[in-house]
Structure 1
């Protein structure tokens, strides 16, 4: 089922969404100070290509730099990305087939708001302890 949903997602918006995040990453890589935002944007772009079967988790350990970076990110881009995800989710939820796609779009809002200090893992590895063999 995940494969079918991912293919439908890819065709009806995932590819364009991933390309948008990829463009944002390339722009962020131009300046040295925005490189962490570029890596976060790349992570979100890969998540946007194939979201079903993967989830967002917090990276272990204290991350004071991530907090400062996330505050800057939310002011500059996070709010606009969240509005875009909500708008797209509303448009996708019009049809019955689009409802799971809308839910996936809403699932991307937290990482689009606070991308630093987060990781994207398969759903099966979500509760595995760090360093444990799969």
Structure 2
């Protein structure tokens, strides 16, 4: 089922959101300081391309550098990526068939706002990850 949802997601909105994350990653990788943020954009872009069957978990070893990085991320790229997810989610929730995909977009908003200090894991490994 998750494969079918991912294929529909890819056609409906996943591809162009992935391209948005790749564009953000390339722009952020222009400077040496922006490379960690660019890598985060590429990581989230891959998650936005094929989200069903995966989820995000907070890393327990993330500390103050992640908080500072998330503030910078929010200013540089996070707000417009999150806005893209919100607008697309609202547009998809107009139809009954699009509601699950709209909800998936709303679940991507927090990770697009503050991605540092989070890992993307398969849902079948979620219990093993938390222990």
Structure 1 length-normalised TM: 0.91
Cα offset, 1:46, TM superposition: 0.4
How do residues 66-85 of structure 1 correspond to structure 2 at under 5 angstroms? Answer: 66-85=66-85
Q: Note the aligned Cα RMSD (angstroms).
A: 1.4
Could you tell which deviates more after superposition, 89-98 or 54-63?
Answer: 54-63
How do residues 92-131 of structure 1 correspond to structure 2 at under 5 angstroms? Answer: 92-129=92-129
Structure 2 length-normalised TM: 0.93
Stretches of structure 1 that go unaligned for 5 or more consecutive residues are none
Could you tell which deviates more after superposition, 72-81 or 107-116?
Answer: 72-81
**Partner Cα distance (1:65, 1:9) in 2:** 33
**Cα distance, 1:117–1:23 mapped onto 2, change above 3 Å:** same
Aligned length: 131
Stretches of structure 2 that go unaligned for 5 or more consecutive residues are none
**Partner Cα distance (1:74, 1:84) in 2:** 14
